[in-house]
Amino acid sequence: MNDKPTASITEHFASLEDPRIDRTKLHQLLAIIVIAICAIIFFGRVFGRLNAEQFQKCFLVWIQAVSEVTHGQVIALDGKVLRSSCQRLLGQAGIAMVSAWATANHLVLGQVQVDDKSNKITTTPKLPQTPKITGCIVTIDTMSCHLEIAQAIVARDAD
């Protein structure tokens, strides 16, 4: 009898319920889990060592190319506080970001961090400078609906 514990991913995740609808299951849940675990373990170390500014520059150039291919789509501008970024015991507020989300591609085209002593209303006008939004429809919540923001969007030939 072999009572040795195993580290088999298949064995340990076999009881995990797949929350997806049958018709949307293009890949086996176990395959997705294995890929995600490997990505976190192996790629996480590499991404952790990259120069963040260089990576951002390369990423933005790529995003510009993607935005040219997706001309005319809907881009949602919105602000969010990053999950788990708040350190209440240390008196640190969460990190707030304003992002431009390409709804058709499910991709962030650009984002700007909100300054500590500011809010998303003063940060949002900086965001339309990041992605190429010409010909796109830009949506924004009522809190950020200000003349300066609308002018920045219109100046970039977006609606």
Q: Which residues form the domain of 36?
A: 9-49
**Three-state secondary structure of the chain:** CCCCCCCCHHHHHCCCCCCCCHHHCCCCHHHHHHHHHHHHHHHHHHHHHCCHHHHHHHHHHHHHHHHHHCCCCEEEEEEEECCCCCEHHHCECCCEEEEEEECCCCEEEEEEECCCCCCHHHHHHHHHHCCCCCCCEEEECHHHCCHHHHHHHHHCCCC
Tell me how long the chain is. Answer: 159
pLDDT surpassing 80 at residue 142: no
Its pTM surpasses 0.85: no
**Considering the domain boundaries, does residue 135 fall inside one?**
yes
Instruction: Return the pLDDT at 30.
Output: 92
Are 115 and 150 found together in one domain?
Answer: yes
Distance (Å, whole) CA 17 – CA 9: 15
Q: What is the pLDDT of residues 35-51, one digit of tens each?
A: 988 888 888 888 889 99
Confidence of residue 73 (pLDDT cuts 50, 70, 90): confident
CATH number assigned to the domain comprising residue 68? 3.30.420
Instruction: Return the pLDDT at 51.
Output: 93
Confidence of residue 121 (pLDDT cuts 50, 70, 90): low
Are 44 and 82 found together in one domain?
Answer: no
Q: When comparing pLDDT for 106 and 88, which is higher? A: 106
Are 45 and 86 found together in one domain?
Answer: no
